[in-house]
């Protein structure tokens, strides 16, 4: 079946531009996560949705970062007034939760590589 | 927040040699997950460990969770070129968010 998809796969933005990154999770997955992965580092948590509710946004680095999931499926991560330090790969992941689920495996998308020049 | 430290940062082995990466925490971990990320790829789930002293095997991969639940290891027997990639441990915290270690990069020389 289809996995998590993300678009665009690559984005080059000039400093100060706004960008929007899209994530299509696996159908039926309630939980959706955004992570930021700098070169040579592990992914770092940004934010988490359960259905349309944003339950945790503690990892968003500044108020320039905003995420939404209005209908509980597709999610968009928006970065306003991009800075060079925002250059990274942005990974989206989804997982299944519910009664009887004991292994909270997260399925990652291919990521969007953002380069801010 | 919780931090998991991973060592070594990098390992280059001859094909057929064994490989081990270690994940350590100063506080008790509620669980540990392991992921593999191929060069240019995305993290792919390998396993979840929850119980103290737990050992799980997947073909040539052996995963352990320490008795005190403060460390974990991944051991690969007789590495192959297909094992190349970065191996991450991660703790799943409240709300199911993952806190990743920095990863161990494995290179295999054939």
Q: What six digits make up the tokens of A66?
A: 């905003």
Confidence at residue A63, expressed as pLDDT on a 0 to 100 scale: 96
- Residues of B within 8 A of A41 (CB-CB) are 102-103
Of residues A7 and B94, more confidence is placed in: A7
Confidence at residue B103, expressed as pLDDT on a 0 to 100 scale: 97
Look over chain A and give the mean of its residue pLDDT values, rounded to a whole number: 94
Sheet holding A75-79, edge to edge: A5-7, A19-24, A75-79, A65-68
Query: Could you tell me how many residues make up chain A?
Result: 117
Which residue do the tokens 């969007």 mark?
A112
A84 three-class SS: helix
How many secondary structure helices (H) and strands (E) does chain B include?
Answer: 0, 11
Using one digit for the tens of pLDDT, what is the confidence trace for B67-87? 999 999 999 999 999 999 999
Nearest chain B residue to A106 by CA: give it.
B45
- Residues of A within 8 A of B42 (CB-CB) are 91, 108-111
The percentage of chain A sitting over the pLDDT mark of 70, rounded to a whole number, equals 95
Query: What's the pLDDT band for A99 if we cut at 50, 70, 90?
Result: low
Confidence at residue B89, expressed as pLDDT on a 0 to 100 scale: 97
Query: What's the pLDDT band for A98 if we cut at 50, 70, 90?
Result: low
Of residues B96 and A32, more confidence is placed in: A32
Q: Which residues contact A86 (CB under 8 A, 6 or more apart)?
A: A64, A79, A114, A116
Using one digit for the tens of pLDDT, what is the confidence trace for A35-77? 999 999 999 999 999 999 999 999 999 999 999 999 999 999 9
DSSP per-residue codes, A51-93: TTEEEE-TT--STTEEEE-TTSS-EEEEESS--GGG-EEEEEE
Look over chain B and give the mean of its residue pLDDT values, rounded to a whole number: 95
Q: Give exposure, B24-63, as e/b (b: 16+ Cβ within 10 Å).
A: bbeeebebbbbbbbeeeebbebbbbbeeeebeeeeeebbb
Q: Inter-chain contact A108–B42, Cβ cutoff 8 Å?
A: yes
Q: Inter-chain contact A105–B48, Cβ cutoff 8 Å?
A: yes
Q: Are strands B10-14 and B55-58 parallel, antiparallel or unpaired?
A: unpaired
Confidence at residue B3, expressed as pLDDT on a 0 to 100 scale: 82
pLDDT surpassing 80 at residue A114: yes
């Amino acid at each position: 079946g289809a996995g998590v998809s993300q678009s665009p796969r690559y984005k080059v933005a000039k400093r100060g531009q706004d960008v929007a990154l899209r994530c299509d999770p696996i159908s039926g997955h309630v939980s959706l996560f955004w992570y930021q992965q700098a070169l040579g580092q592990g992914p770092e948590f940004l934010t988490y949705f359960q259905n349309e509710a944003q339950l945790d946004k503690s990892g968003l680095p500044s108020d320039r970062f905003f995420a939404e999931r209005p209908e509980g499926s597709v999610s968009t991560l928006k970065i306003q007034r991009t800075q060079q330090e925002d250059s990274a790969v942005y990974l989206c992941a989804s997982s299944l939760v519910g009664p009887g689920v004991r292994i909270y495996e997260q399925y990652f998308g291919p990521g969007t590589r953002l380069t801010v020049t | 927040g919780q931090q998991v430290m991973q060592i070594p940062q990098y390992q280059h082995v001859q094909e057929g040699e064994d490989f081990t990466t270690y994940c350590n925490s100063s506080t008790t971990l509620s669980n540990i997950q392991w992921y593999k990320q191929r060069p240019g790829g995305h993290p792919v789930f390998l396993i979840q460990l929850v119980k103290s002293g737990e050992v799980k095997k997947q073909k040539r991969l052996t995963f352990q969770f320490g008795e005190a639940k403060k460390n974990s290891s991944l051991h690969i027997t007789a590495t192959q070129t297909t094992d190349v990639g970065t191996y991450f441990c991660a703790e799943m915290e409240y709300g199911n968010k993952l806190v990743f270690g920095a990863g161990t990069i494995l290179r295999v020389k054939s």
